[in-house]
Structure 1
């Protein structure tokens, strides 16, 4: 009888263990009731601290609304952009929200939600001399300020620029360096540049008036293979697009509807391996 009882207990433990191992990330998130999201807190107007020292921004508020509609509390983990994808991969966070662009190479290793923002790349240059950049080919030999693993830095490298990295620095650090000539350009997203430049009117910087290139789609990033979480997030994003919430959040932070594809003619960069 004791042997039979012991055997039954062992079977019960094995069954519970198997069920636990089969649980998806989304099951675990639902059980805990918390969605953990990586973001930088330094990226005007996507993820930053406002005058009341509250974390906000387009990507932050999109993530908050996704969590709310899934019935989850959202906890943000502040980190550099270079640390976000590794944090998703290791499970330190459940997803990342920081104006992250879906690329062919990234999609091999991570799951990207349906896009919630459409944009393109341009660059910050000095007002006084355009930083000597009048075409993308002029980036050769120039110094670009940016994160080491960002798409923007890869574009700069593609055209022969050196990349100066900053960690999780503020917009001010990047833009001041262009202004004083420590660097030459900051290749980045149109919307981020638009508001970053506007925040520092005394700097000798401007958004390049002529160069528009590399159309992009920004998404929430999740661990590869977490289908349930992906489907739940995409369902909510579709609702937000349908009921106008994405448009409302975009216009709040960008004064434009960044949730729609831009109408401009954007140059596609050939041979960009990202």
Structure 2
């Protein structure tokens, strides 16, 4: 089987018609294949997130990760860009939705696309993946320990981190949630509150919580990394996308 893939930095059209940087990866096969928008975590558009994007391409998906901090810090080191974006209040929800919409349009415009697009996000990106699923017409969304979908955020948090559970009624697609049982943001209580809301609105969802894991258990470059949880989580993500993004 031909297994070559192409990964490169591209420019896509984001919210308000803005040109934003993105990292794209795709298998060099004729398709048709499904597509994934990877939403980076608060630390930014970094090497680890680009590796995740390439992983999806290796698994047979077209994938793109928009740099959500392009406007605040174009070309900056991920840590510096993240600090600059946080100092300016973070990524506004409306802009996030516009940027993900632009990424989805980019993916659907590829000749190998089957037109089906899912999102996945980690940490703040998990919240934003849920937000995208409630704001756009998608075929799948994955929330990896997204904080402040439910619950009260810490004092002083910007509007970009406020609860959005009230949008559950608008969720357009099946949702996969992966959480750490020892996490505080979201806590098991926060996860239960979201699950209750999903049930109340008859939404299709699948949640898994991992004992012995806290926040960022997927992050291979952090002490929080939990290999068993991450391995199982990857298997569930790929199975979920396989069911919902196939032609």
Normalization by structure 2: what TM-score?
0.30
Relative to total residues, which structure has the larger helix share, 1 or 2? 1
Q: What TM-score comes out, normalization by structure 1 length?
A: 0.28
